[in-house]
Structure 1
Amino acid sequence: MKAIYLHAIVLLAGVTAASIGNAADVTPLAPEAKTVETRSGWEFTVAPYFWAAGISGDVRQFGLPEVNIDSDFGDILDNLDFAFMAAAEARYDRYSIVGDVVYVKLGADAHTPRGILADSVDVTSETFAGLLGVGYAVLEDQNGHLDVFGGMKVWSVETDISFNGGLLAGVEREDSATWVDAVVGLRGNYFFTPEIYVTGWGLVGGGGADVDWDVGLGLGYKFNDTISAVAGYRALGVNYENDGFVFDVVQQGPIIGVSFHF
């Protein structure tokens, strides 16, 4: 029986490919792909992205002992039901407002060895991570900018287990946690040419979690004033512990995305 629960915890940990994109076009910090010409007024960016992250660390749920996990992106993809990741930014002069949402849902079912307590168990894991904050450009010229950033990040992690057949037929259990972290850091980009730019960011903070950090670096290409794309690498870590619920993980992997500027 313990093996069933441990399997559920591993699935939960994989769910967070969580969390939150890349700086010029695929990050929760999503700075716009800046043009060489000076522009005035509000500028908006919407950036859907995809993060192929693996996950490692320690998790604990349902009152069971802590479990160490180490899953690559392929393991997570095998159980993926649905995922949505997108960032948005509104920018005026040196000021910016940034939002980012990540939602991932995993589902799996497994048969029990003897089928006495249950014939099979269904596991559903959902993770939501949302960031909202403001930035100010301390350095800015026609080729790029460097912003200081501060904001709030909301995490929600939930796992549901249901048993089919056997003595536990119809039994369902849920374990979940929701917390908020304050984060600060830097974000920026720099254009080597009117089309090619580098972008990067670094955030760190805490609150509900003991520590919450996010770093990344990407290389972007601006096709025109409306569309640009970026590819890079991102790593994120969070350490949350409360009332027997443990979520102490690091996620890292390549990230790609497209941004639309208007």
Structure 2
Amino acid sequence: MRASTVKCLSALAALALTALPAAAQDSGWQGQITPYVWASGLGGDITPFTGGPTVSFDKSFSDVLEDLDGAFFLSGYARKDRFVVLGDFSYSSSSKGELTPVGPASGKLRQTSLTLAAGYRAVSNESMTLDLLGGARLWRIKGSVEAPGVGIQSSPGKSFVDPILALRANFALAPRWSAIFYADVGGFGVGSESTSQIVATANYQVNDNLYVSAGYRQLNVDYSDGGTRIDATMAGPLLGMTWRF
């Protein structure tokens, strides 16, 4: 592998992709944490080793839900003056059976990712804020393939770290409404060939400490190591509830 093995279920620093109003200003620390539901579809291909069968995924959320083994999503955000930190933790597992050129085969894709980034608030005014960030995405991906007809059973697990560059823009729309756009890109051949993410949400302030959000998220990874290839896209709407402190 091109990157060291990662044990990524250590501390989640303050994370985030949702909801502070753009005009909020404070000289001390501000933070928020957001558990959310991500109705993610799944698309992509898994090749466990050179010459092995490739299992293709192309699932809507209803398909994923039918075969879902488990999922958990959490995000948050913290800021002091113009210094910001954010991140996102995602876990999901999905499986599929299909007919391949070597006979019936089944595949399972399990991904755990932890995105952490820190940066600088480059723009701050009453209508918007803009944060520029750099950080890393830590991955643990396991793609299992079984083809009983030809005696193939393989469960390659890969752990790697991708550097990322990111931006996060927060737009004030109305007294209780805001919108957030987040995007990152990374990999650059260090861990994966490429990884990227976009999140867009509309956020409503219920009270001083509580927000609800709805939007869309897409997370991509294209990883290749030897004969193992994992090319996956997870995308779909999300709903979140943010506690601000």
Question: How does the TM-score come out when normalised to structure 2?
Answer: 0.79
Q: Which runs of 5+ in 2 are unaligned?
A: 1-14, 98-104
Report matched runs for 1:54-69 at 5 Å.
54-63=41-50, 64-69=52-57
TM-fit CA distance, 1:79 = 1.6
Deviates more, 1:230-239 or 1:35-44: 35-44
Match of 2:235 in 1: 252
TM-fit CA distance, 1:142 = 3.4
Report SS of the residue matched to 1:192.
Answer: strand
Question: How does the TM-score come out when normalised to structure 1?
Answer: 0.74
Please state if 1:191 is matched with 2:169: no
TM-fit CA distance, 1:137 = 0.8
Match of 2:202 in 1: 219
Match of 2:212 in 1: 229
Q: Which runs of 4+ in 1 moved over 4 A?
A: 121-125, 159-164
The residue type paired with residue 138 of structure 1 is A
| Bigger CA radius of gyration | 1
Shift in CA distance, 214/140, structure 1 to aligned 2, threshold 3 Å: same
Match of 2:6 in 1: none
Please state if 1:132 is matched with 2:120: no
Report matched runs for 1:1-262 at 5 Å.
29-30=16-17, 32-34=19-21, 36=23, 38-63=25-50, 64-106=52-94, 125-159=109-143, 173-206=154-187, 207-262=190-245
In the alignment, is the contact (CA less than 8 A) between 1:181 and 1:212 conserved in 2? yes
CA distance in 1, matches of 2:63, 2:91: 18
Report SS of the residue matched to 2:26.
Answer: coil
Q: Which runs of 5+ in 1 are unaligned?
A: 1-27, 111-120
User: How many residue pairs align between the two structures?
Assistant: 223
CA distance in 2, matches of 1:67, 1:161: 7
Report SS of the residue matched to 2:156.
Answer: strand
Shift in CA distance, 183/98, structure 1 to aligned 2, threshold 3 Å: same
Alpha-carbon deviations, 1:118-156, whole Å to 9, x = none? xxx997653210111102110002343101011100111
TM-fit CA distance, 1:62 = 5.0
In the alignment, is the contact (CA less than 8 A) between 2:220 and 2:234 conserved in 1? yes
Report SS of the residue matched to 2:118.
Answer: strand
CA distance in 2, matches of 1:126, 1:261: 31
In the alignment, is the contact (CA less than 8 A) between 1:202 and 1:215 conserved in 2? yes
The residue type paired with residue 224 of structure 1 is N
TM-fit CA distance, 1:193 = 1.4
TM-fit CA distance, 1:65 = 3.3
Q: Percent identity?
A: 28
